[in-house]
Amino acid sequence: MTAPVAPSASAVSDPLRLATIGAGRIGSHHAEIIARHIPGAALSAVVDPIAGAAERLAAELGVPHATTDPDEVLGRADIDGVLITAPARCHTDLVVAAAAAGKHIFVEKPMAVTPADADRAIGAADEAGVVLQVGFNRRFAPGFAAARAAIVEGRAGTPHLLRSLTRDPGPFTADPARIPRWTIFLETLIHDFDTVCWLNPGATPVSVHATADALIRPDAKATGHLDTAVVTIRFDNGAIATTEASFSASYGYDVRAEVFGSAGMVTAGDARSTDMTFYGADGIHVDTARRDTELLRAAYTAELTAFTAAIRHRTPAPVTGHDARRALAVALAAIRSVETARPVDLAEVTT
């Protein structure tokens, strides 16, 4: 049997017709960007298994096609690509199905939660010849992109110490019982694992030590919930990276990186929301961004713009399945490190 052939450049309909699979918070955000803010792209369909969810989002964005069935969308010949923003556990199967249908794929992180699934997703996209891009949004934030550029230019020399952190805005209001045990590693820190790899070009992570706890909701620890974590990563070029995450930053959304190298240091990320500063009787005050969709608005738009450009120009995805697999390996090593209370070599979890 022959793999479906992805639409050739010339065959790409104009505008690009995309569908979103998953109409939750981030899915809705991506959908709105595609529908309204990416020139040359159109949102043609919305899929969500929850009855009514796709309809509501489609109505809001003026999208003609809403359904609970992904196959309905994957079967449409006029759809060029899909955004997969479903729950993490469904990502790989959806990637494989979309690739089999010849659709270009933007998949939210984590692309997969096992190395085998990561390989399956990568293989499916390769075989189908479709673009497969993973949602590591930091890479598209202007400050992070400038940091990477400075490092690639050699301005910081060889990286020795790296840091990346993610702190979700608080107060924490989720139900810990509904958060899968390893979410802080697989869904949150996975961003930071990618960031430190990406900011240490050419190096490979070799071992990991993780510490994690339930500090925001200590009562939830018994059921396996972890809300605070620090992961130290050793690279084959000697660099030592520290990544950390918390599910409740009182002051808003906070995403930062720091690379200290032999010739200099680069930092990126700033919690302030605008360049307005207020000076009052209590001192100096600066507003912060309270949501990722505010702090990383430009990054979300840029990553989807890059996705459509990769489709249109047949260029490689700027964030690949291999990048996702690498970050996953770090996450799995971190999880095993927590389980065993010792450092873990990546070789243990990837073979």
Question: Using CB under 8 A, which residues numbered 123 to 182 contact its own copies?
Answer: 142-147, 150, 155-158, 160-161, 167
Q: Of residues 13, 114, 223, 250, which one binds its own copies by CB under 8 A?
A: 250
Instruction: Tell me: does residue 252 bind its own copies (CB under 8 A).
Output: yes
Rounded CA separation 142/255 (Å): 13
Query: How many of the chain's residues bind its own copies (CB under 8 A)?
Result: 73
Q: Select 51 or 153, whichever has its Cβ closest to its own copies.
A: 153
Indicate which single residue of 232, 309, 336, 348 sits in contact with its own copies (rule: CB under 8 A). 232
Instruction: Determine which residue in the list 24, 72, 180, 242 makes contact with its own copies, applying CB under 8 A.
Output: 242
Pick the closer one to its own copies by CB: 245 or 329: 245
Q: 117 vs 168, which CB is nearer to its own copies? A: 168
**What x-and-dash track marks residues 192-231 binding its own copies by CB under 8 A?**
-----------------x-x-x-xx-x---------xxx-
Q: Which residues, 6 or more positions from 221, have their beta carbon under 8 angstroms from its beta carbon?
A: 213, 214
Stretch that binds its own copies, among 2-10, 16-24, 182-190, 258-266 (CB under 8 A): 258-266
Q: Which two tokens stand for residue 197?
A: 């790899």
**What is the nearest approach in angstroms of its own copies to the Cβ of residue 337?**
9
CB of 293 to its own copies, least distance (A): 15
Least distance to its own copies from the beta carbon of 67, Å? 23
Nearer to its own copies, 99 or 162 (CB): 162
- What are the backbone angles phi and psi of residue 169, rounded to the nearest 5°? -70, 140
Q: How far apart are CA 313 and CA 170, in angstroms?
A: 41
Write out the binding residues for its own copies, residues 309-348 only, by CB under 8 A: 341-343
Q: How far is the CB of 179 from its own copies (least distance, A)?
A: 17
Extract the tokens encoding 199. Answer: 């900011």
**Near its own copies in 283-312, by CB under 8 A:** 283-288
Q: What whole-number distance in Å separates Cα of residue 51 and Cα of residue 31?
A: 18
Helix (H) or strand (E) segment spanning residue 62:
none
CB of 32 to its own copies, least distance (A): 9
Per-residue x/- marks for its own copies, 32-71, CB under 8 A?
Answer: ---xxx-xx-------------------------------
Contact 124, 130 (CB under 8 A): no
Q: How far apart are CA 346 and CA 351, in angstroms?
A: 9
268 binds its own copies (CB under 8 A): yes
**CB-nearer residue toward its own copies: 65 or 209:** 209
Q: What is the number of residues in the chain?
A: 351
Show the tokens assigned to 83.
């955004």
Report the residue number, 100 or 230, with the smaller CB distance to its own copies: 230
For strand 65-67 and strand 41-47, is the pairing parallel, antiparallel, or unpaired? parallel
| Dist. CA 45–CA 63, nearest whole Å | 6
Q: What is the CA radius of gyration of the chain?
A: 20
Task: Give the separation between CA 186 and CA 181, rounded to whole angstroms.
Answer: 10
CB of 95 to its own copies, least distance (A): 28
What phi and psi values does residue 29 have, to the nearest 5 degrees? -65, -50
Q: First CA to last CA across the chain, in angstroms?
A: 30
CA torsion sign for 91, 118, 128, 2 is: negative
To 10 degrees, what angle do helices 321-340 and 189-198 make? 120
Member of 260, 291, 309, 336 binding its own copies (CB under 8 A): 260
Residue 298 beta carbon to its own copies: minimum distance, rounded to whole angstroms:
9
- At a CB cut-off of 8 Å and minimum separation 6, what does 251 contact? 271, 288
Is 174 or 230 the residue whose CB approaches its own copies more closely?
230
Binding region for its own copies (CB under 8 A) out of 68-76, 120-128, 178-186, 273-281: 273-281
